[in-house]
Amino acid sequence: MPIYEYRCDECGHEMEVMQKLSDAALSDCPACGKPSLKKLISAAGFRLKGGGWYETDFKGGSKKNVAESSKESTSSGHACGTGGCPSCK
């Protein structure tokens, strides 16, 4: 479940709440009791990892682009890069 941040326009109270996407936004401030809570917009606190379309989005330093790696392996004459798959034999 995502964590949402809220701030009260009346008293300035801030809080984080874990809610389902389908839950209605909160409106009543627990500190002052007024219906002045506003949902804040903030950056997501997670990072996608693993092999997939987003693999190159977080590459670092000497890591090569996936597209570049596949070009190198096919230029060696092996479809998989190792020579061990049925299409290489």
The per-residue b/e assignment along 47-57, b for 16 or more CB within 10 angstroms, e otherwise, is: eeeeeeeeeee
What are the structural domain ranges in the chain?
Answer: 1-19+28-43
Average per-residue pLDDT for the chain: 75
Q: What is the pLDDT of residues 15-43, one digit of tens each?
A: 999 999 899 999 999 999 999 999 998 77
In terms of pTM, does the model score above 0.75? no
Is residue 74 classed as helix, strand or coil in its secondary structure?
helix
